[in-house]
A and B are shown apart, each in its own frame.
Chain A
Amino acid sequence: MKTLTPLAQTYLDRFDAARSSLPGHQIPVVAALRETGFARFKALDFPGRKVEEWRFTNLAPLTKGIEPAAAAANADLPAAEFDTPHVMTFINGRFSPNESHLDQLPEGIKLSSLAAELDAGNSVVLGADTEENRPVVALNTAFMADGFVLQVEDGVTLDAPLLVRFVSLPGSGEVSHHLRNVIRLGKGAATTLLEEHVGIDGHAYFANPVTDITLAEGATLRHYKYQAESDAAFHLANTDTDLATGATYENFALTTGARLARNELESRIMGAGATSILNGAYLIRGQQHADTTTLTRHLVPENDSKQVYKGILDGEAQGVFQGKIQIVPDAQKVSGDQLSRALLLSDRASVSVKPELEIHADDVKCSHGASSGELDEDALFYLQSRGIEEKAARKMLIDAFLADVLEEISDDAVRTYFAKVTARWMEEV
């Protein structure tokens, strides 16, 4: 038998206790799901760099085991900056009712905690196990403890965005959170959701959220994510979305946090007229490593997908973008576009990009573009020649670089919020 990584070994040791105590252990289907996930994780272990999907992201700093840092002793709950009446808060991977405001949700929208659903014997929300070979998802299936469950009935639309905060605070002794979130939107339903992942710098932990989204016919989900984990944290997230006919999924991920982060998204387009939009920006510095990996699968004819990702890298930061567009045989009249651009601000920063097209139908339009480089010297010179100081000119150009993609956010409040966050990040450049 092969030797497992030290971190995987600790999970092996813990599973015996976990299987009889985690939420849903009394429900046979949930117990079976966990066993399947565990067996799969045990067989796969954390991926090494020889695994093609992980060639650019080295998990060794995580898999050798997490040392909970003593730093950040006086950690209060950071206040939410985004203003909305509907807030759900998880602290260290568990639902915290005291920090949540869910009483103003309109009729037809239910936002609850997975642990509560499972305790009540409701396992339907979890759906079937379709996972194949993603060890990080398998690990989540084995150890999932809580998460949010959002269910929106047919035709119901929500007025203000939902804010779900995942906060990690030092002192609990628990260093890993395996969150399983579920989103089910009924026919013609429309919702805006902002996820925020926040930590206290210096605090080391492993956040492992998996989000499972199903959009029924004509449903629209605007799904935004702000990842501002602690600078010592590991964040490996997976979001899978199924789109039915006419459904629209808009995702925007803003990444500024974590020591090592990977945001993996998979859109499965299963209906005509559906649109999958995956956008994002990553702003990283120091020793940060941020990986965005997307898979857009066009499984039927006549639908669209779009992707735009922008990265700004300072210090010794490493950025990764891997995006694959897949069009299966007979999925005709599909269009798929993708763009990835990275801006390197320092000599030690680096970026690795792998935009991939896999096309098995002929009547399609697909393109991808990727570019990487520093700020345009000519543009910088032009601005300076007009009397703008170098620093201000640089800022202006970086702003413009980012504005392009931020403008793609269709929710005004979230766009304004993300612009504020990115402006703050830039002040420290």
Chain B
Amino acid sequence: MAIARETVEQVASVSDKYKYGFISDIEADTAPIGLSEDIVRFISAKKEEPEWLLEWRLKAYRYWLTMEEPEWANVHYPKIDFQDIYYYSAPKQKDKLKSLDEVDPELLEVYKKLGIPLKEQEVLAGVEGAYNVAVDAVFDSVSVATTFKARLEKEGVIFCPISEAVRDHPDLVKEYMGSVVPYTDNYYAALNSAVFTDGSFCYIPKGVRCPMELSTYFRINAAQTGQFERTLIIAEDESYVSYLEGCTAPMRDENQLHAAVVELIIKKDAEIKYSTVQNWYPGDENGVGGIYNFVTKRAACRGENAKVSWTQVETGSAITWKYPSCILQGDNSVGEFYSIAIANNMQQADTGTKMIHLGKNTSSTIISKGISAGKAQNTYRGLVRMGRKAENARNHTVCDSLLIGDKCGAHTVPYIENQSRTATIEHEATTSKVSEEQLFYCQQRGLSEEESMALIVNGFCKEVLQKLPMEFAVEAQKLVGISLEGSVG
């Protein structure tokens, strides 16, 4: 009867809508609303930052003031009032924490509800089924807890909130922050550089294979608050790390802004695997509320044989604007991008990647699966560039779009620039709908229409789902079903 039980669970979870939409009543310490140099100074002071970082923030802020909001993406929304956002909100903290046990139990409760364990005991005690993952939990503007720090420290791995890294490892932060995504990069990167509040910092020393998966869980809770986090991961020669990122937010009628910057630095023979399940609140079926997700993610493969792999499952957010990219500088370096983007109801997604090939024998793979349902618009936008010196570089791109319903749109906008004779670029894209025959077949075998759709879509996404770490893959598969709820029938 295992199958029957599984079906029941599947149906239960499918009918579960957005289950992370609750609001937690946690007392917060908030900056005055709006944005100005004073706010930038306020954030910097709150974080007890050194002078150089404040200067950097101010430079970014002044540069941001000269920039114009980008309009090239295929997304439409009312102009954002940057003065109507709280740029800093942190849960009130009684005293400095000495260990995890001192974390506000209310916060722990929130994360328990989200399914993210902030406890080490279970794993240490060898409880079966416990996550063997170190978690950094970011709540609104600050990191509230990081697990397994001691275990990681033994290997020399640094995993901590970025504000702590600024304090404890200023040289590393100073050297690498902004080196992949400078504050001049784009509008939202400049804004983030000015007002970023927290995020994760990982440093994997030479020759170390990180003993567990590292994970950051982002939660927006406070109303009218923007979340601006910054993640920096450095993989030294011959090291390896798998990093997971998850995010949720309460259901609110207003739109909230999330503008993050993620920088990855991969040295010789090192590898970073970066997986995201993005499940910000997408707004309701009429397009009211939801997160504006404007994110800059970029990896620099600086050494020979460096490898980076981005895997993303984008199911949430009212608007997604995100292009995780790879700069393949080192000879033989490898970049991968596996993406599932699901847009339902009034969601708009404009996402893709950039593969910039500079070194010899560099190779990249792009697999993008876009699914549009309801009245959603889903755009793949990507760039593959082969530089003059990218001898024998290779790229293979597949972007497939699936349309469910006749009111949605699927768009593909790839840019391919080749300056290298010996480079090989292959790009293919298809757009189609779920065939009646497939649906009929599944239903004839006793599945409901909705289950059939979830099954077919999961099959369509399989190539990408397989790239996710196990725990994430299970969650992602369920998410695919939930996100498409209401798109058939």
Residues of A whose CB lies within 8 Å of any CB of B are 52, 56, 329-330, 332, 342, 344-347, 349-374
Contact = CB atoms under 8 A, between A and B. Distances in A.
Contacts of A364: 403, 431-433
B246 to A, nearest CB: 31
Nearest to B431: A366
B11 interface: no
B404 A357 contact: no
Given A352-B416, A362-B406, A362-B433, A345 B421 contact: yes
B231 interface: no
Interface residues of B, number: 34
B433 A372 contact: no
A359 B409 contact: yes
A374 B430 CA distance: 25
Q: What is the predominant secondary structure among interface residues of chain B facing chain A?
A: strand
Contact of A362 (B408, B425, B427): B408
Contacts of B413: 354, 356-357
Interface of B: 72, 388, 401, 403-433
Nearest 6 CB-CB pairings of A with B: A362-B403, A373-B424, A357-B412, A353-B416, A350-B419, A370-B427
A344 B419 CA distance: 9
Contact of A352 (B409, B418, B422, B426): B418
Contacts of B420: 344, 347
B466 to A, nearest CB: 24
A371 B426 contact: yes
Given A332-B406, A364-B432, A372-B425, 16 more contacts: A56-B417, A344-B418, A344-B420, A344-B421, A346-B421, A350-B419, A355-B427, A355-B429, A356-B412, A359-B410, A362-B403, A365-B432, A366-B431, A367-B430, A368-B412, A371-B425
A352 B410 contact: no
A368 B412 CA distance: 10
B414 A355 contact: yes
A296 B433 CA distance: 21
A371 B406 CA distance: 31
A361 B420 CA distance: 37
A374 B419 CA distance: 11
A369 B420 CA distance: 19
Contact of A342 (B418, B422, B430, B433): B418
Nearest to A350: B419
B341 to A, nearest CB: 15
A95 B401 CA distance: 50
A369 B412 CA distance: 12
A332 B408 CA distance: 13
Contacts of A366: 430-432
A357 B410 contact: yes
Nearest to A373: B424
Name the residue in A362, A365, A373 with the highest tally of chain B Cβ atoms < 10 Å from its Cβ: A362
A358 B409 contact: yes
13 contacts: A329-B406, A347-B421, A353-B415, A355-B414, A358-B411, A359-B403, A359-B409, A362-B433, A364-B433, A367-B429, A369-B427, A370-B425, A372-B418
Contacts of B405: 362
Nearest to A371: B426
Contacts of B406: 329-330, 332, 361-363
A366 B428 CA distance: 11
B429 to A, nearest CB: 5
A353 B431 CA distance: 19
A367 B417 contact: no
B412 A371 contact: no
